[in-house]
A and B are shown apart, each in its own frame.
Chain A
Amino acid sequence: MFPRPIQQSAPAVRWLYSIALPVALLLWLFPLLGVALTSLRPASDLAQGNYFGMPSGIAWENYVYIFTETPIGQYMVNSLWVTIPTVIGAVSLSLMTGFALAVYGFRGNILVFFMFVAGNFVPFQILMVPVRDMTLQLGMYDTWYGLALFHIAFQTGFCTLFMRNFIKALPYELIEAARVEGVVEWRIFWFIVLPLMRPAIAALSVLVFTFIWNDFFWATVLTQGVDSQPITAGLSSLNGQWIAQWHLVSAGSILAALPPVLMFFLMQKHFIAGLTLGAVK
């Protein structure tokens, strides 16, 4: 193990480490903690310049205010309307593409695979004008499905990479054996491979959820207005209205951050398995 386990060090070093850990964490999350505390600070404190001193009280009303006086609740619902269909769509499509690319040695296999991988890395801006134009032409501009369809297509690239590598690591004998038994291909997919894919599906679902929830660029390009804007774009426009009302900006930020954070804590193992794909041989 590297570095040498701290248990083998002198007591003084161990003591130092046990102090350094919380201190480092505190410093690391300092900006976030500051915002979390500001979100609970009464507006009057900020007006009097009391930014970091003892708050005069805990102001839950900041949260009440943004829920009742701003459309932040609607924005969050909009985000769900985009995020959940995207998760379902991208995972389903990539299960099939991943299966095709992992199991069949057809000509052009590697080419199609690399195309998915490469497409996943292109800068969004090269897609922006045509995708926006097409979405407008199809009458899907400013709708949740217009946004979700794009996300499904784009995320299929990353998800295909993941699914393909996952299926490739399954024992191929399973599929061979089923073929000898005369099982048709789609049944192999449905009854043999799919049940083994649960961990991959879980990992990709949390990852795609987080990516899409946090997306700002496409939300700005493909939606407008309260009825369909997701939370990221909504928060940005609210920020424009709340100039320097940091207690509101903070409360909004904390709310927008909450769902992916919860997702991460509930599904930590899957989340990290997805992100670190390829980081070990």
Chain B
Amino acid sequence: MTTASPTYRRPRKFNQRAIAPWLFLAPGLFMFTIYVLWPIVQSITLSFYDWNGLYNKDGQFTGTFVGMGNYAELVSDPAFETSLWNNLKWLVLYMAALPLGLFIAIFLNQTVTGIRLYKSLFFFPFVISQVVVGLIFAWFYAPNFGLFYLLTQSITGQGTAILADPDLVTYGIIAAGLWPQIAYVMILYLTGLNNVAPDQIEAARLDGAKGLKMLWYVVLPQLRPATFIAVIVTVIGALRSFDLVSIMTNGGPFGSSRVLSYYMFEMALGEYGFRMGYGAAIAVVLFAIMMVFITGFIWKMWRDETER
């Protein structure tokens, strides 16, 4: 990169303004390139290799090129299929955070004494680490004495140890993840409700609109920015579901609660040995799924930017 030389004088002002943004960008852009952009390229490349993560004593890369080999293996890998299905369950069921978050936001959007404290306490689950959320729910679901177990026992006569049941375990973990996610969506909608135009509500009220009709035709359209952000953060949350799976079940029982993010980690760094290339291929699939949503988000942002 060139820097402004002090020797040539006249066009200095203009020159300075052309160079300044790049100087301001340089440190951040450098870090971001090294740690985010370049690794994406490397991971994609690596997904065509078979590599155990080691270098020979001359410091040379020991991987072998296998072309589409890793991807071909993925197609027939039942664990990959399970993970993909579970990711889909996460994506679909996580969307429940939107109506539930909206519901709580509407419930709390009042001006009674102490409501601010209520709002912050409802937001609580989002502030604490997913590791802690996972442990809390593991306790809640624990066989024999967990509250959930006791509850199902009192209703059906037989307790359900949800984290030990291959058919139910993913739903149990998703429910744990929804807890903080609903809190996040709630706070987005509370902010949105705060900014709903009161004159439009009053006008609609004079026209006799109320309840669900009012919500659907008058309030929700005004909440669109909040809904958009809520969808984005919920999708990201659903696809990033590593922490809870790792803490609550380690992907078990029998690998039935694996998701792509966790399965990738297992393959590349877990007890199954260091299959970096195979792990990278899983990560590329996850990345491709996420890219669909990222593209949508950027597209919307671009439209908003150019409108202005």
Q: Is the CB of A31 within 8 A of B265?
A: no
Which residues, 90 to 112 on A, are CB-close (under 8 Å) to B?
93-94, 96-97, 99-101, 103-104, 106, 109-110, 112
Chain B 215-239, CB-CB to A under 8 Å as 1, else 0, gives: 1001100000110011010001001
| Alpha-carbon distance between A143 and B131 when the two chains are bound, in angstroms | 21
Q: Is the CB of B34 within 8 A of A153?
A: yes
Contacts of A276 in B (CB 8 A): 187-188, 191, 226, 229
| Alpha-carbon distance between A183 and B279 when the two chains are bound, in angstroms | 52
Kindly state whether residue B93 has any CB partner on chain A within 8 Å. Answer: no
Contacts of B39 in A (CB 8 A): 126-127, 129-131, 134
Choose among B106, B118, B139, B194 the residue with the greatest number of A CB atoms under 10 Å from its CB: B139
- Among A118, A156, A160, point to the contact of B298 (Cβ < 8 A): A118
- Among B40, B196, B247, point to the contact of A127 (Cβ < 8 A): B40
Which residues, 1 to 39 on B, are CB-close (under 8 Å) to A?
16-18, 20-22, 24-25, 27-29, 31-32, 34-39
Q: Is the CB of B276 within 8 A of A154?
A: no
Q: Is the CB of B135 within 8 A of A239?
A: yes
Kindly state whether residue B297 has any CB partner on chain A within 8 Å. Answer: yes
B88 CB → nearest A CB, Å: 15
| Alpha-carbon distance between A106 and B20 when the two chains are bound, in angstroms | 10
B contact residues, total (Cβ < 8 Å) = 104
A contact residues, total (Cβ < 8 Å) = 99
Find the A residue at minimum CB distance from B282: A125
Q: Is the CB of B25 within 8 A of A112?
A: yes
Kindly state whether residue B75 has any CB partner on chain A within 8 Å. Answer: no
Q: Is the CB of A2 within 8 A of B109?
A: yes
Q: Is the CB of A232 within 8 A of B32?
A: no
| Alpha-carbon distance between A102 and B38 when the two chains are bound, in angstroms | 25
Decide: A214 near B247, CB < 8 A? Known: A123-B261, A123-B290: no
Q: Is the CB of B225 within 8 A of A280?
A: yes
- Sort A-B residue pairs by CB-CB distance and give the 9 closest, nearest first: A153-B35, A214-B129, A130-B39, A100-B24, A104-B21, A97-B28, A153-B31, A125-B283, A130-B42
